[in-house]
Amino acid sequence: MDKGAILSTSALLGLSTSLYLSGVHFSASQLTLPILYRLPAATSTSIFTELYYRGAKTIVPLALLSSLSTGLAAILDPERRVGYAVAAGLTLATLPWTRLAMTGTIETLIGLSNDAAAREKVQDGEVEGLLRRWNWMNLVRSVLDGMGGIVALLVAFKAL
C-alpha cells in the first residue's frame, strides 16, 4: 500500500468511526434514556447499568481507533496535519470527559442498581435526576465525536 492509500484509508476510518460514535451517543440519549425516566428505580438503574457496560465494550475501542486513525492521517499529511490533529483530539476528548465528568454519576447509578437498600433510601425523582444528568453529559460526547468526524471530513475533502 502506498502512502496515499494509507492516508485515505486512515482518514476515512477515523472520520466514519467518529461519526458512528456520535450517533451511538445521540441515540442512547434520545431513544433509550427518556424511556428509563418513568420506570421504577430498580428497573431503570438495571437497564442503565447494562447500557453502560455494553457501551464501554464498544465505545472505548472505537474512540481509540478513530483517534489513532485520524492521528495517523495527521502524520501522513503535513499540509492538513493541524486539521486532522484537531479532529483526533475532539474524538479522543470523549474518554477523559467520561472519566472526569461522568464517572460519579455512572458509579452512583450502577451502585443503586446493585443495592436495593440504597435504592430505598433515594428520594422521589433522584434516580430520574441522575439519569437526566448522565443524558446531557452523554450528549456532550455526541457533540465531541460529531465535531471530530465533521472536522476530519472537511479536512479530507480540503474544505478546511
Q: pTM, whole model, 2 decimals?
A: 0.93
Q: Residue 160 pLDDT > 60, yes or no? A: no
Helix (H) or strand (E) holding 101: none
Residue 155 grid cell: 479536512
- pLDDT tens digit string along 25-79? 999 999 999 999 999 999 999 999 999 999 999 999 999 999 999 999 999 999 9
Spatial CB neighbours of 122, under 8 Å, sequence gap ≥ 6: 41, 112
CB distance 48 to 109 below 8 Å: yes
Residue 135 grid cell: 443524558
- pLDDT tens digit string along 25-38? 999 999 999 999 99
3-state SS class at 115: coil
* Domain range list for the chain: 3-156
pLDDT at 159: 63
Residue 32 grid cell: 433509550
Residue 69 grid cell: 486513525
Q: Whole-number mean pLDDT of the chain?
A: 95
pLDDT at 124: 76
How many other CB atoms sit within 10 Å of the CB of residue 12?
A: 15
Spatial CB neighbours of 77, under 8 Å, sequence gap ≥ 6: 7, 11, 84
Q: How confident is the model at residue 93 (pLDDT cuts 50, 70, 90)?
A: very high
CA angle 37, 39, 45 (to 5 degrees): 80
Q: Kindly calculate the radius of gyration of the chain based on its CA atoms and give it in whole angstroms.
A: 18
pLDDT at 68: 97
